Amino acid sequence: MKGVDEVHLLNITVAPAFQRQGWAPLMLEALGGWSRAEGAQWLWLEVRQSNQRALDIYLRQGFRSVGVRKGYYPAHGGKREDAVVMSLRLNESPTAWGGLR
């Protein structure tokens, strides 16, 4: 979702048969390139606190954890799960945070 100077990633998935083949980083790099071309300065997302695989991918791509949204996601048994809010500054050098090119 594009805003004035930012893009918010609402959802990204890789089919189970294609996981661990590098598709998620490739899609994130493409999103970063598109976002820059659209004039965005920031890329934002939320991820379930329990989704360690996704958190690891985002961190490797240069995203930083900037906060937590308490009870953001529905969970089993009527409970709620926190979301980790992450951002990537797009106008820094590609290696500044070790992330997206």
Active site positions, annotated: 46, 58
SS3 content of the chain, % helix, strand, coil (to 5): 30, 35, 40
Rounded CA-CA distance 49/54 in Å is: 9
Best CA proximity match to 27, nearest among 51, 9, 4, 52: 9
